[in-house]
A and B are shown apart, each in its own frame.
Chain A
Amino acid sequence: MNEFILVETHDGTTSFRPGDLVEGTVRWQLPGAPEEIELRLFWSTEGKGDQDLEVVETVPFHNPGALDRRTFRVRLPAGPYSFSGKLITLRWALEAVAQPGDHAGNLFLTVSPTGEEIRLHR
């Protein structure tokens, strides 16, 4: 069986502006029904130094089936913006995690006033 957890926005958009509403669907197919599926909206950094990470919002999906789908709506906060330099990249993502277990699926988002990642160097 092909196991997956898929996070999608309704129109496939992954570029947003601060304060935008993100609407989409989480679909999954797992070996058995998990106790819960939780969707997390978060940002994290990646680079030369230690990682910073903040979960901004969580959306629990109760009583999930092994093969199931749920819709979600989350409001993006004012910041931080998605940016990238030589030393650090800040990314936004939606991640759906099945509990218990280690199944997860994610979708990277870009959040900035222009809808594009801010580049700190050229």
Chain B
Amino acid sequence: MRAGDNPFTVQKVRKIRYRLSGETWEGLLERLAKLRYRAAIVGPHGRGKTTLLEDLAPRLEALGFRVRSVMLHAGDRRLDREQRQVLLRHLSPRDLLCVDGAEQLGRISWLALLARSQSAGGLLITSHRPGLLPTLLDCETSPELLEGIVRELVGSETDGRQIEELFARHNGNLREALRAMYDVWAGAGR
């Protein structure tokens, strides 16, 4: 199979957007407003935290916020100069700060960000662990969610048992499960 024809390419998987479970976008935004726009999206790797943050951004912009985002990676104990500029330069209540991977920050950097963010209209983070800010949503996955995504990507029915095994093998990490599906399709020579 040509890589471009594989339904599990990174590019195709990234087009799958966050699927809220048992809640509407309006409801989620209401809860975020009640938290004064200072909240955390929590969950382990591959649960859709970044996707949810991306999907919230245009909705927050529609409310009048100017969304300012940075993404932190493993080992980023503090914001670098460019990230500080993006997030913190000339802050106003119209600004809503989004920090993806906030758990990476060291304690002093986190406290400094918290203090600086008081001038902004909000601070929304993703984190692998709860406790940095009140939790807006704990991202969870399920075999049914994985099956629905696979079905959407493949465009046909899927093998439920294979999906359950895949889900269990990757401990609910959908990103890794979908990467594994890429190999299954590439190897199958469909």
Residues of A near any B CB (own CB < 8 A): 46-51, 84-89, 91, 119
Residues of B near any A CB (own CB < 8 A): 1-6, 9-11, 179, 182-183, 186
- Residue with the highest number of chain B CB atoms closer than 10 Å, among A46, A85, A91: A46
Q: Does the CB pair A51–B10 fall under 8 Å?
A: yes
If A47-B4, A84-B4, A89-B2 are given as contacts, then 18 extra A-B residue pairs at C-beta distance below 8 Å, sorted by A number, are A46-B3, A46-B4, A46-B9, A47-B6, A48-B10, A48-B186, A49-B10, A50-B10, A51-B10, A51-B11, A84-B3, A86-B1, A86-B3, A87-B3, A87-B186, A89-B4, A89-B5, A91-B4
Q: Contacts of B1 on A, CB cut-off 8 Å?
A: 86
Q: Does the CB pair B182–A46 fall under 8 Å?
A: no
Query: What is the bound-complex CA distance between A48 and B10, given in angstroms?
Result: 6
Query: What is the bound-complex CA distance between A51 and B179, given in angstroms?
Result: 15
Q: Does the CB pair A48–B3 fall under 8 Å?
A: yes
Residue of B nearest to A87 (CB): B3
Residue of B nearest to A48 (CB): B182
Q: Does the CB pair A85–B3 fall under 8 Å?
A: yes
Can you list 15 A-B contacts (CB < 8 A)? Answer: A46-B3, A46-B11, A47-B6, A48-B3, A48-B183, A50-B10, A51-B11, A84-B2, A84-B4, A85-B2, A87-B3, A87-B186, A88-B3, A89-B2, A89-B3
- Residue with the highest number of chain B CB atoms closer than 10 Å, among A84, A86, A87, A91: A86
Query: What is the bound-complex CA distance between A48 and B5, given in angstroms?
Result: 11
Q: Contacts of A49 on B, CB cut-off 8 Å?
A: 10
Query: What is the bound-complex CA distance between A99 and B3, given in angstroms?
Result: 31
Closest chain-B Cβ to A77's Cβ sits at a distance in Å of 21
Q: Contacts of B179 on A, CB cut-off 8 Å?
A: 48
Query: What is the bound-complex CA distance between A86 and B6, given in angstroms?
Result: 9
* 6 closest A-B pairs by CB: A89-B4, A47-B3, A84-B2, A89-B3, A86-B186, A46-B4
Residue of B nearest to A50 (CB): B10
Q: Contacts of B10 on A, CB cut-off 8 Å?
A: 46-51
Query: What is the bound-complex CA distance between A57 and B134, given in angstroms?
Result: 47
Query: What is the bound-complex CA distance between A50 and B3, given in angstroms?
Result: 13
Q: Contacts of A91 on B, CB cut-off 8 Å?
A: 4
Q: Contacts of B182 on A, CB cut-off 8 Å?
A: 48
- Residue with the highest number of chain B CB atoms closer than 10 Å, among A47, A85, A119: A47
Query: What is the bound-complex CA distance between A42 and B179, given in angstroms?
Result: 26
